[in-house]
Structure 1
Amino acid sequence: MADPQQENKLENFAWLRAAVLGANDGIVSTSSLILGVAASHAQHSSILISGIAGAVSGALSMAVGEYVSVQSQADSEAAALKSEHAKIRANPKDEHQELADIYIQRGIESGLAAQVARQLMEHDALGAHARDELGITGTFSAKPLLAASSSLASFAAGASVPLLEALLVPEDALLPVVAVGSLILLMILGAAAARTGGANVLRGSLRVGLWSSIAMGISAGVGVLLGGLA
């Protein structure tokens, strides 16, 4: 059966991971856009306008995509709970045995498993089946609005870094400052995410740095190419 403390740890890790990923997306996409536009020799005002537009559209896109995805999950969970509730009302004995079998498979002795299943079903039959058969708990149930707002906020927070760099840094130093500054922050976030997940910190940091630098380099290259053709 579920351990509340373990569930809380997993929930915190899941939300931290989502926040880090959202911030990473905001930094990579916005800095890549700024670098691409700057490399095309666009005016500083055009660079800022492009960066702000990219940050806003990216944050909204993240929020909408996350909402739709998690709402679909919520709809699936609601349908599964409705179906399970109908089964419990129609065949309580079969559902009791099904729950007991789950506990037996987890290593509980059959007599004790039957007793536990009976007591849990007397207390909250649907809750017991939702948790132990369907894997749906209050901690991990889908929360579309929370997921959407968290994605929007984390993306916007990440995107604000290259935007501030582009706003405050002189035009002739914009490319190196945005590239290096964004990469340093991305590697710090990669290290933090790896440390939280118990992975190798150096490897996690270098992985994020490598792929982010490739994305920025390609974007800058496209900007140079298009700027030369203009």
Structure 2
Amino acid sequence: MADPTAAAPATVPDHGEAHEQGFASRLNWLRAAVLGANDGIVSTAGLVVGVAAATPSRGPVLAAGVAGLAAGALSMGVGEYVSVSTQRDSERALIAKEVRELAEEPEAELAELAAIYAEKGLSPDLAQRVAVELTAHDALAAHAEAELGIDPEHLTNPWHAAWASMASFTVGALLPLLAIVLPPLSWRVPVTVVAVVLALAATGWLSARLGEADARRATVRVVAGGFIAMVVTYGIGALVGTQVG
């Protein structure tokens, strides 16, 4: 005969799931930071290489690079803030709805929670006991996590997303900017290309590792995309510079 205390371990998967969700959330932020740095590298490299092809003067290249860095970082920050704010507003609305349902239809909500655990593989009796115990401990947290996949105490923060995106883009953009303005005139484009290719290889490998994907294939894609962007912008810059000259 089953021991009634056997219901206690059933709460362990929920705690583990919460830890997994927290790890997944941190992993997503890290992946977003890597992608932001990649965007900064590619967009700024394309910009400064194109301007460098159009003029031998260091001033216009530096001005264009700084302007591109600032505009890109602000755009990334604002975009992330708006996107995550919308997500947080949706989470708050769902939580408010769950609060109303728990207050108005507690029995129906309890049955719904038990059904969720039953669908995960628990026996109906054990699912019912787990739902009762979790609801008694923290009804909103239990229902929000199981039904919505949301932790009411740790909603997404738009400011964190905005600052992370701005910082990662800025760090990525600084590399091609410094690589194009520091070397002598005859070396600035080759140095920039090499620096960008190496940086893109690193970000491509890291993003692939974070996503548990094929690192070689992802690295080749990222490097090829960045290299093509620099070739295209260099060609446009050289053509425009010739026409203007």
**Global fold match (TM > 0.5):** yes
**SS of structure 2 residue aligned to 1:127:** helix
Instruction: Report Cα offsets for 1:136-191 as digits up to 9, x if no partner.
Output: 12687321000000001100010111111123111221111112211111111111
| CA displacement at 1:196 relative to structure 2 | 2.9
Structure 1 position 13 matched with structure 2 position 60: no
Structure 1 position 202 matched with structure 2 position 194: no
Matches within 5 A, 1:80-95: 80-95=94-109
Mind listing any 5+ residue stretches in structure 1 that lack a counterpart? none
State the distance in 2 between where 1:109 and 1:77 align.
30
Structure 1 position 67 matched with structure 2 position 91: no
User: Which stretch shifts more, 195-204 or 91-100?
Assistant: 195-204
Structure 1 position 33 matched with structure 2 position 50: no
| CA displacement at 1:205 relative to structure 2 | 1.1
Query: Is the 2:40–2:171 contact (alpha carbons within 8 Å) kept by the matching residues of 1?
Result: yes
**Which of these residues, 47, 50, 57, is aligned with residue 61 of structure 2?**
47
Structure 1 position 174 matched with structure 2 position 188: yes
Aligned CA RMSD, in angstroms, stands at 1.5
Matches within 5 A, 1:47-196: 47-137=61-151, 141-196=155-210
State the distance in 2 between where 1:86 and 1:139 align.
18
| CA displacement at 1:19 relative to structure 2 | 1.0
User: Which stretch shifts more, 219-228 or 103-112?
Assistant: 219-228
State the distance in 2 between where 1:224 and 1:140 align.
51
Taking only the aligned residue pairs, the percentage that are identical comes to: 43
* Code of the aligned partner of 1:114: Q
State the distance in 2 between where 1:66 and 1:108 align.
39
State the distance in 1 between where 2:225 and 2:119 align.
43
| CA displacement at 1:132 relative to structure 2 | 0.8
Instruction: Report Cα offsets for 1:73-100 as digits up to 9, x if no partner.
Output: 0111111111111011000000000111
Query: Is the 2:37–2:173 contact (alpha carbons within 8 Å) kept by the matching residues of 1?
Result: yes
Normalised by the size of structure 1, how large is the TM-score?
0.95
Normalised by the size of structure 2, how large is the TM-score?
0.89
* Code of the aligned partner of 1:131: E
Query: Is the 1:183–1:209 contact (alpha carbons within 8 Å) kept by the matching residues of 2?
Result: yes
Structure 1 position 216 matched with structure 2 position 204: no
| CA displacement at 1:9 relative to structure 2 | 2.9
Aligned length: 230
State the distance in 2 between where 1:5 and 1:101 align.
23
State the distance in 2 between where 1:168 and 1:22 align.
24
Query: Is the 1:24–1:155 contact (alpha carbons within 8 Å) kept by the matching residues of 2?
Result: yes
State the distance in 1 between where 2:240 and 2:126 align.
71
